């Protein structure tokens, strides 16, 4: 093949590839939405939510860019004590939390959450997810001999059974038992034997939130309004189905 022919083939291939890429990008924008354009519409979307769903709480913060008065950025939230305090205050208002002893919050040792809860809701029941505790333990002590021993400790219904389970764990792997005592914290946050009796929940794992995250997974890679609308509709359909199931049963 001559050099002229090679150049012709190459330019034709590049043209087709470019055209194909542009078509793919347009198709993805039609399906997922245009990120830039949707952020321009976010304020209108917030107002529509407030009109169609009275009582809803919607937050959005915008930061000006000093170098360009006509530009700006939506504020990014980082996980720390101050942002958790902001979230807890909003949640408390929405749920009208007055008698906080009736509520349970379960977490995976999120940075700053514990201290924020202690400051704003000091009497609320705060638990640590045992599934995440177990995963962290396996990462540091992956012995197959452990098997369900940490779970036996968490499921113990009395302090006597808890002490026996911890002793069994120590006999099997002393280092694992030491890690549990050093890193997991007081058993009142993760063992049933120490849960207060007035709280009518003995859950050890935050499976509800994990299930919800899986439920909305397919919407999370979309543009902002497309994502929020798909999650909103999913939740509405789920609530409808649950109510219908209660009526039929």
- 189-213 tens-digit pLDDT: 999 999 998 888 899 998 888 888 8
> pLDDT digits over 34-51, tens only?
778 888 888 899 999 889
Distance, in Å, from the CA atom of 249 to the CA atom of 234, rounded to the nearest integer, reads 22
What is the separation, in whole angstroms, between the first and last Cα of the chain?
A: 75
B/e letters for 191-200, b = 16+ CB within 10 Å, e = fewer, are bbbebeeeee
The confidence band for 18, taking pLDDT boundaries of 50, 70 and 90, is low
Q: Nearest CA to 106 among 44, 199, 178?
A: 199
| pLDDT > 90: percent of the chain | 26
In degrees, rounded to 5, the angle at the alpha carbon of residue 185 between the alpha carbons of residues 199 and 150 is 85
Identify which has the larger pLDDT, 198 or 4.
198
Q: Is the pLDDT of residue 171 over 80?
A: yes
Model confidence pLDDT, tens digit, residues 132-163: 899 888 888 877 778 789 999 999 999 999 99
Kindly report the number of other CB atoms within 10 A of residue 238's CB atom.
Answer: 12
Under the banding of pLDDT at 50, 70 and 90, the label for residue 27 is: low
The separation between CA 239 and the C-alpha centre of its own chain, rounded to angstroms, equals: 20
Q: Compute φ and ψ for 219, nearest 5 degrees.
A: -95, -15
Is residue 13 over pLDDT 50? no
Average pLDDT of the residues of the chain: 82
> Where do the structural domains in the chain lie, given as residue ranges?
19-60+217-249, 136-215
Confidence class for position 9, pLDDT limits 50, 70, 90: very low
**Residue 10 pLDDT > 60:** no
């Amino acid at each position: 093949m001559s050099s002229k022919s090679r150049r012709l083939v190459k330019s034709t291939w590049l043209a087709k590839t470019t055209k194909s890429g542009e078509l793919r990008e347009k198709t993805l924008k039609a399906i997922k939405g245009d990120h830039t354009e949707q952020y321009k519409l976010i304020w209108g979307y917030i107002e529509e939510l407030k009109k169609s769903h009275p009582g809803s709480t919607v937050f959005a913060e915008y930061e000006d860019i000093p170098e360009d008065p006509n530009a700006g950025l939506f504020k990014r939230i980082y996980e720390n004590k101050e942002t958790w305090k902001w979230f807890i205050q909003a949640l408390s208002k929405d749920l009208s939390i007055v008698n906080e002893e009736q509520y349970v919050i379960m977490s995976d040792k999120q940075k700053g959450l514990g201290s924020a809860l202690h400051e704003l809701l000091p009497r609320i029941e705060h638990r640590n997810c045992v599934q995440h505790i177990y995963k962290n333990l396996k990462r540091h002590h992956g012995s197959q001999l452990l098997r369900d021993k940490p779970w036996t400790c968490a499921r113990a219904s009395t302090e006597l059974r808890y002490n026996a389970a911890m002793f069994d764990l120590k006999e099997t792997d002393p280092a694992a038992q030491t890690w549990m005592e050093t890193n997991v914290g007081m058993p009142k946050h993760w063992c049933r034997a120490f849960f207060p009796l007035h709280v009518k929940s003995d859950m050890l794992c935050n499976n509800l939130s994990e299930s919800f995250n899986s439920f909305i997974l397919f919407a999370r890679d979309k543009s902002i309004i497309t994502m929020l609308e798909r999650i909103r509709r999913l939740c509405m359909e789920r609530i409808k189905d649950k109510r219908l199931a209660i009526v039929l049963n």
